[in-house]
């Protein structure tokens, strides 16, 4: 482990100030690699959420500094914030690794992508425009894309900084104000971002960050009558609760990015492509300890190359070094906490009992910290629970198939639809299968190659709405039609 990482902020960030919670309560955040407490963090309650919403509402008033700011100046602020992140990327990466358990290298990569995402949306700030419409009659008709208002944003623990930036970027580029609740398991990096917003010169109240628990702080935010939109990334169970809260309160706008059980189809390809497919599978399911909503957890391999693929994937898995996430030689860090670790282990037990072949892994590493060997199951059937339920860990199920239409049907036989992938050299096959898969993103001859310029989001119970790209802006604006009679 490195020398102790200084924890600079543990209070709520409201109206450009770090303040104690009105609840008088704090909660601990832990290091997954050591199981030791890192710090006590102020816990937001309903009154704190209300205070943050009032600050955001005031910052969104029609004559406020933020509302009157030129769009280009707004973009400059976003760009300045991104440069402050770049300045502090080493500290942010250490903080992320300490609080989340992923390797330092993974944290650095996340932060680099996040900085580029904020820069991307900084460039959009003065390019959001409507249309001039040739309406019938003697009228001049045009549309405006206007900021929605106060946006509540609730993010998960698996990619704390990246998920925050995916929501901050488009919301701020469009001119909204924000109340964000980071996950209670990983609040530290989000709070530090609050200090960078203040340093960059964002007006008070534009960004507020309120760590707390979902059933208290999250519910208060989702139910608040002065919140105009909720953006949520997390489980389908919580996504349903947010939908219900919207209906029971003020019908606030909602966008959801939820879970997945993503299929990755490997057709009868040559050895070079098969090796790349195995590497992409391992990258997707073993990076971040498999705690990713779009991880390739169901891999369908053509019967002609099934055994060869398994050999390649097993070799990669066995070469993974599990341990201290600050060690530069380590490639797999820690699971987030004991609850998630036990959940993953229970699914491994279920897989064995259901008759799947445990190819490798399935064992805890060490007796301190939540470390698990990368795990591969073979000889899986579609009816097994490990084939249908989201495990959210470094566990992959590998299936055998014969026919193209068969594998399309099996790949789509899930309630989720976040992502999918395939390996093939046949252009006709690539187009047919890509068009047939029921997923928001399909990667071809690669996997999990997200881009800030391309939209990301799900079909079915993986949610609705899109993040990233120009489509991500659509979630944070209202379209107004103005029609002027000409005499």
Check if 174 is active-site. no
SS3 411: helix
Q: Which long-range contacts (CB under 8 A, 24 or more apart) does 360-369 make?
A: 360/314, 360/317, 360/318, 361/317, 361/394, 361/395, 365/322, 365/323, 366/323, 368/34, 368/35, 369/32, 369/33, 369/34, 369/35, 369/101, 369/334
Distance CA 176, CA 157 (A): 24
Cβ 390 vs Cβ 231: under 8 Å: no
Distance CA 155, CA 85 (A): 19
Which is catalytic among the residues 117, 151, 293, 294? 293
SS3 121: helix
Distance CA 266, CA 300 (A): 6
Which is catalytic among the residues 43, 96, 184, 257? 257
Q: β-strands 298-302, 12-14: how paired?
A: unpaired
Check if 293 is active-site. yes
**Residue 393: alpha-carbon gap to chain centroid:** 15
SS3 271: helix
In terms of Cα–Cα distance, which of 305, 331, 301 is closest to 316? 331
**Which residues does the annotation mark as catalytic?**
257, 293
């Amino acid at each position: 482990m490195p020398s102790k990482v200084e924890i600079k902020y543990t209070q709520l960030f409201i109206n450009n100030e770090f303040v104690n919670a009105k609840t008088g309560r704090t909660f601990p955040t832990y290091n997954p690699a050591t199981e030791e407490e890192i710090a006590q963090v102020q816990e937001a309650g309903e009154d704190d959420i209300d205070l943050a919403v009032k600050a955001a509402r005031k910052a969104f008033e029609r004559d406020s500094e933020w509302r009157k700011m030129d769009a280009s100046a707004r973009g400059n602020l976003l760009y300045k914030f991104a440069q402050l992140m770049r300045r502090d990327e080493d500290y942010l990466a250490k903080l992320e690794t300490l609080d989340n358990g992923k390797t330092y290298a993974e944290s650095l990569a996340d932060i680099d992508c996040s900085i580029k995402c904020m820069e991307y949306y900084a460039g959009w700030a003065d390019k959001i425009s409507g249309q001039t419409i040739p309406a019938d009659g003697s009228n001049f008709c045009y549309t405006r894309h206007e900021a929605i208002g106060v946006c509540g944003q609730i993010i998960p623990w698996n990619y704390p900084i990246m998920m925050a930036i995916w929501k901050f970027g488009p919301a701020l580029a469009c001119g909204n104000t924000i109340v964000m609740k980071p996950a209670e398991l990983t609040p530290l990096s989000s709070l530090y971002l609050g200090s960078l917003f203040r340093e960059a010169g964002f007006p008070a109240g534009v960004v507020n960050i309120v760590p707390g628990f979902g059933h208290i702080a999250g519910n208060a935010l989702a139910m608040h009558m002065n919140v105009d939109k909720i953006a949520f990334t997390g489980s389908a169970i919580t996504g349903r609760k947010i939908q219900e809260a919207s209906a029971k309160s003020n019908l606030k706008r909602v966008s959801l990015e939820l879970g997945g059980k993503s299929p990755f189809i490997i057709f009868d390809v040559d050895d070079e492509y098969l090796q790349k497919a195995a590497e992409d599978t391992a990258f997707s399911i073993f990076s971040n300890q498999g705690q990713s909503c779009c991880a390739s957890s169901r891999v369908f391999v053509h019967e002609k190359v099934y055994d060869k693929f398994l050999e390649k994937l097993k070799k990669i898995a066995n070469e993974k070094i599990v341990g201290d996430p600050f060690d530069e030689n380590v490639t797999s860090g820690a699971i987030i906490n004991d609850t998630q670790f036990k959940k993953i282990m229970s699914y491994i037990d279920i897989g064995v009992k259901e008759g799947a072949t445990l190819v490798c892994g399935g064992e805890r590493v060490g007796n301190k910290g939540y470390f698990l060997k990368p795990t591969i199951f073979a000889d899986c059937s579609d009816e097994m629970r490990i084939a249908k339920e989201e495990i959210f860990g470094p566990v992959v199920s590998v299936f055998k198939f014969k026919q193209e239409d068969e594998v399309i049907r099996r790949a789509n036989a899930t309630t989720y639809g976040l992502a999918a992938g395939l390996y093939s050299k046949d252009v006709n096959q690539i187009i047919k299968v890509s068009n047939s898969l029921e997923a928001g993103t399909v990667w071809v001859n690669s996997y999990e190659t997200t881009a800030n310029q391309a939209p990301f989001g799900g079909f079915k119970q993986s949610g609705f709405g899109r993040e990233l790209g120009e489509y991500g802006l659509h979630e944070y604006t209202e379209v107004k039609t103005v029609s002027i009679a000409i005499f």
